Homo-oligomer: A and B are copies of this chain.
């Protein structure tokens, strides 16, 4: 996916020497919250089996799942900022990491 080089072991939860990988607690927390979001998606699928379902009830539930996914994104982003971006100056890959982050957030101009 996106291997990174020259990590200097700032992140004890990372299992390789050449990758910036996700802190384990963040990874598990994100996974738990994603499981909840998936359950929510499944409940909307069941709503959509009902011929009498009302459009706006479905739309509200979709918005709620989008909010839940935004929460997962926030967890992942927080982990990335603390574990990788905040240490980038020491590693010397700040420009690369910031560019990548802005692209992932669709905030490049």
Using a CB–CB cutoff of 8 Å, the interface residues on chain A facing chain B are 1-4, 10, 13-16, 19-22, 24, 26-28, 30-31, 34-35, 37-38, 41-42, 44-45, 48-49, 51-60, 62-63, 65-66, 69-90, 94-95, 97-98, 100-102, 104-109
**A76–B44 CA distance with the chains assembled, in angstroms:** 12
Given known contacts A45-B34, A86-B86, A22 and B55 CB-to-CB distance under 8 angstroms: yes
**A97–B59 CA distance with the chains assembled, in angstroms:** 13
Q: Which residue of B lies closest to A31 (CB)?
A: B48
Given known contacts A34-B48, A45-B38, A95-B82, A104 and B22 CB-to-CB distance under 8 angstroms: no
**A35–B100 CA distance with the chains assembled, in angstroms:** 27
State the 4 A-B residue pairs at the shortest beta-carbon distance, nearest first: A86-B94, A55-B80, A74-B107, A86-B88
A56 touches B94 (CB 8 A): no
> Could you say which residues of chain B place their CB within 8 Å of the CB of A101?
56, 81
Given known contacts A34-B45, A38-B38, A98-B78, A55 and B20 CB-to-CB distance under 8 angstroms: yes
